[in-house]
């Protein structure tokens, strides 16, 4: 038998998560992809973001006085019991326009993985990781550096985010596809070069929860609008009847497989996805 061709996926976790946690949460998706592409050798790489979050950075974190549990206090003797949470960047609450603190460090970490583990065929991200996935796909597109130069000259009064030097040194081809679960666009003029002049050319499947209260729909639609063509009419926007998590029900796994197949083979297979009960939803991240 001829050796199976590789299909390598870069997996980017959400804010407060880690690579191992996202691995656990996306197990059903990767298993489904693996079964759907028997002629490919599937490998999924799960880096952990470089920014270790303090408990105060974690939404909903409330220390329990006198407790040494994972949700417990901040005493140095209990450091090991604090939740291991990471982010690709943090958002400044005072900057206007909005500022993503540490974004270049997050992108540098991704560039390191692209160099050491690549080349990758596609990227899959959740929440903040989905926002990163769109930015990474954009940065790997030809002539994206020109967009950064363009917007820097267009808005001299705005401190533009410069094209990361770590990506300018990469010898990595453009990605064939991206899957963004609960993704969103980075706001403000500072980050326009990721999304405009030109719009994102890499095919992106947007999977969104109709009950998501963490990422506002308007932010997700801003990312959809930043993609070339008409993603909605092209079947690249999928809604699931749940909240802020990666759906593991068959229809949404099938949608991911169909999209990847279209990107790899150039033909979307028509057909009705097998319906399953969508009331048994995964726990939110």
Domain boundaries, the chain: 5-58+79-265
* The one catalytic residue among 212, 220, 240, 248: 212
pLDDT in tens, 53-107: 987 766 655 555 433 333 333 434 444 555 689 999 999 878 877 899 999 999 9
pLDDT mean across residues, the chain: 86
Q: What is the pTM of this model?
A: 0.85
**CATH number attached to the domain at 5-58+79-265:** 3.40.50.1820
* The one catalytic residue among 18, 85, 127, 182: 127
- Taking CA atoms, 131 is separated from 6, 68, 254, in Å, by 25, 34, 22
Question: Maximum CA pair distance of the chain?
Answer: 62
The secondary structure element, H or E, covering residue 5 is strand 5-12
- 18 counts as catalytic: no
Helices (H), the chain: 19-25, 27-36, 103-117, 128-139, 144-154, 165-168, 217-225, 250-265
- 23 counts as catalytic: no
List CB contacts of 75: < 8 A, sequence separation 6 or more.
Answer: none
- 127 counts as catalytic: yes
Confidence (pLDDT) at 266: 72
Number of C-beta neighbours around residue 77 at 10 A: 8
- The Cα–Cα gap between 167 and 108 comes to 8
Does residue 119 have a cis bond before it (omega within 30 degrees)?
Answer: yes
The arithmetic mean of pLDDT across residues 109-128, rounded, is 97
pLDDT in tens, 198-245: 999 999 999 999 999 999 999 999 999 999 999 999 999 999 999 999
């Amino acid at each position: 038998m001829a050796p199976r061709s590789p299909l390598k996926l870069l997996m980017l976790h959400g804010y407060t998560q880690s690579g191992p946690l996202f691995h656990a949460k996306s197990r059903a998706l990767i298993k489904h992809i693996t079964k759907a592409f028997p002629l490919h050798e599937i490998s999924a790489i799960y880096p952990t973001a470089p920014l270790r979050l303090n408990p105060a950075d974690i939404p909903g974190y409330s220390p329990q006085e006198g407790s040494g549990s994972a949700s417990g206090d901040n005493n140095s003797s209990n450091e090991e019991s604090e939740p291991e949470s990471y982010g690709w960047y943090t958002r400044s609450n005072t900057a206007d326009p909005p500022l993503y603190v540490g974004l270049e460090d997050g992108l540098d970490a991704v560039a390191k993985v692209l160099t050491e583990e690549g080349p990758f065929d596609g990227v899959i991200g959740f929440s903040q990781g989905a926002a990163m996935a769109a930015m990474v796909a954009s940065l790997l597109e030809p002539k994206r550096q020109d967009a950064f130069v363009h917007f820097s000259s267009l808005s001299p009064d705005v401190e533009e985010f410069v094209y990361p030097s770590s990506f300018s040194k990469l010898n990595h081809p453009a990605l064939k596809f991206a899957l963004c679960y609960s993704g969103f666009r980075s706001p403000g003029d500072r980050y326009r070069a990721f999304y405009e002049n030109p719009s994102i050319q890499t095919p992106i499947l947007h999977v969104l929860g109709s009950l998501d209260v963490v990422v506002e729909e308007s932010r997700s639609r801003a990312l959809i609008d930043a993609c070339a063509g008409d993603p909605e009419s092209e079947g690249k926007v999928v809604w699931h009847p749940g909240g802020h998590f990666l759906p593991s029900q068959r229809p949404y796994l099938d949608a991911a497989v169909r999209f990847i197949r279209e990107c790899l083979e150039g033909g979307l297979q028509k057909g009705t996805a097998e319906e399953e009960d969508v009331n048994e939803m995964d726990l939110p991240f």
